[in-house]
Structure 1
Amino acid sequence: MSTRTLISPAALGRTRGKVVYWGVFALVTVVFTLVFVGPLYWMAVNGLKSTEEFTRIPPTLVPHGAHTDNYRHAWKVMDLARLLRNTLWYAFGALAFQLVLDVAAAYSLSRLRPLFGKVILGMMLATLMIPAAVLVVPQYLTVLDVPVFRRNLLNTPWAIWLPSVTNAFNIFLLKRFFDSIPRELLDAAAIDGASPLRTLRSVVLPISRPILGVVSIFAVVGVWKDFLWPMLTLPDPSRQTLNVGIYSLAQGVPENWLTAALAMASLPTLAIFLIFQRNIMSGLTAGGLKG
């Protein structure tokens, strides 16, 4: 069966067709590369400029001199090491809770099939339609005075961890993957006497590494890039995350140091994507086909 494309094979076989095709392809690639990589380059080079060159108009595309001390001063003055430790603590704590609770929820909906399971899943997915800004006030009031327990969670890691525990999108991804696991594997485990929990631990999780990797990356990056919620719930400077801490200290440092700090804050998430980009793609497409 022939595949329909924008350009027919006959037109692509002609010299003019090849020139137009590759010319448009190169143009689109260059434009999108500049759109996405341009701000990162601008942030990195501005961190290398002197204060005088940073404020120059028109700005220079390439710094006249590489002032690498800007990064060292920003790291020390803004205490990025402490902010980085705080952010890592919050991010990997949220990751641990999500892996335990979201996997349990997705496995229950996929394989245990509880009563009203489809209704529960639909209600979870419906929460994705609610803008995040709408939930800020009720969530803040909840962590300010937790119902039943009557505890104030401000300036504690629980204020970051608890709202991120049940992620409807991650549960949907996990359930979609668990649905694609051949039923024969689970039946064989049941015949061998494995309980549902043992089946999850010994059969399902080992073959779910791609999707678990995707969920892990989403969990870490979600906490890492969040700004509004940590700013509201972590007013203590010693407990702030990287983004909030840089914003709090922005008024007291030169702008080139501030840009250098922002560049360093962006490096961990960029490194995670570059290292695990194949896992992200394979995990997102996993479970699309059964068999």
Structure 2
Amino acid sequence: MTTVERTLISPWAMKKRRGKLLYWLVFALVITLFTVAFVVPLLWMVLGAMKTAPELARNPPTLLPESFGAGAYTEAWEFMDLAKYFTNTVIIAAGAWLIQLAVQVPAAYALSKLRPALGRWILALMLATLMLPASALLVPTYLAITEVPIVEVNLVNSPAAIWLPAAANAFNIYLLKRFFDQIPTELLDAARIDGAGSVTTMWRIVLPLSRPIIAVVSIFSIVAAWKDFIWPLLVLQDPEIQTLSVALQRFEPDTPINLMLAGLVLASIPMVVAFLIFQRQILAGLTAGSLKG
């Protein structure tokens, strides 16, 4: 029995010249619209930083700057002391990444392979938290940070105030679990017969096979920590330890608009470069574990 693949344009219509023309016109239109929607704002921001403040205030606005140069970028780097805030953001993102992997990988491994009692209910409750708006979690999370249960420590103005809540990411745990589910149980059974414990099995068998999904979770963790604004604004009240997103917002009232645009461009470069470098790993990791073969 042959199966017929359903598409927007039927195979019969694609055989005709009019059908092929319609297909390519729609395809080109969609690609053009998406390209314009994503690229034009970035291009406007990059070119806007090269303009002077009076030129940016013109109406109608100019498309290209009167003179091209990187002077605004160097001036913004020095004026807002961006090197310090880049360093703060790197520390926050790196710590969040390490702690998330240290918590999420064992949690997903336990739910997938160790199958604890009430494991399905635990996973269901974790996924239920994804249905809550982020704003609804701000107050209880902030109260927990100001007085951590049991130890009763105040983590405000500490990187741990961002690292610890970031570890409780149900989406990343679910991605890892779905990938771990596809690893043959026979491999783990063979490791146990050889005397390997659960931790050794996870470290020597599961993790080497899970590099694609770990790369994806790592990228998601770093990007989320890098671009987050509301939570760092609440818990990092000391200007000396603030991240880029919070610092740029603090400088905004007293900074010329062209320098502010230059600062935004500089803050965006690391994440754009990371996506361009690791886009293949992102796509491979998101689809790995979705099919059984």
Partner of 1:38: 40
1:90 and 2:98 are equivalent in the alignment: no
| Separation in 2, partners of 1:164, 1:8 | 46
Partner of 1:23: 25
Q: Name the amino acid aligned to 2:71.
A: D
**By how many angstroms is 1:147 displaced?**
2.4
**Deviation per residue, 1:86-110 (Å, 9 max, x gap):** 0110111011011111001000011
| Separation in 1, partners of 2:150, 2:14 | 68
Q: Name the amino acid aligned to 2:175.
A: L
Range with bigger deviation, 96-105 or 184-193: 184-193
From 95, 102, 105, the counterpart of 1:103 = 105
RMSD: 1.0
| Separation in 1, partners of 2:176, 2:10 | 39
Is the 1:213–1:283 contact (alpha carbons within 8 Å) kept by the matching residues of 2? yes
| Separation in 2, partners of 1:35, 1:105 | 38
**By how many angstroms is 1:290 displaced?**
2.6
From 52, 55, 58, the counterpart of 1:56 = 58
**By how many angstroms is 1:124 displaced?**
0.6
Partner of 1:164: 166
From 275, 286, 289, the counterpart of 1:287 = 289
Partner of 1:199: 201
Is the 1:210–1:279 contact (alpha carbons within 8 Å) kept by the matching residues of 2? yes
Is the 1:91–1:220 contact (alpha carbons within 8 Å) kept by the matching residues of 2? yes
For 1:68-87, list aligned pairs within 5 A. Answer: 68-87=70-89
**By how many angstroms is 1:253 displaced?**
1.4
| Separation in 1, partners of 2:213, 2:131 | 23
**By how many angstroms is 1:65 displaced?**
1.0
Unmatched 5+ residue regions in structure 1?
none
Partner of 2:175: 173
**Deviation per residue, 1:48-84 (Å, 9 max, x gap):** 1112211111111111211310000001111111111
Partner of 1:272: 274
**By how many angstroms is 1:139 displaced?**
1.2
Unmatched 5+ residue regions in structure 2?
none
Is the 1:181–1:290 contact (alpha carbons within 8 Å) kept by the matching residues of 2? no
Partner of 1:141: 143
**By how many angstroms is 1:289 displaced?**
2.0
Superposition misfits of 4+ residues, deviation over 3 angstroms: none
**By how many angstroms is 1:173 displaced?**
0.5
| Separation in 2, partners of 1:116, 1:39 | 48
Partner of 1:248: 250
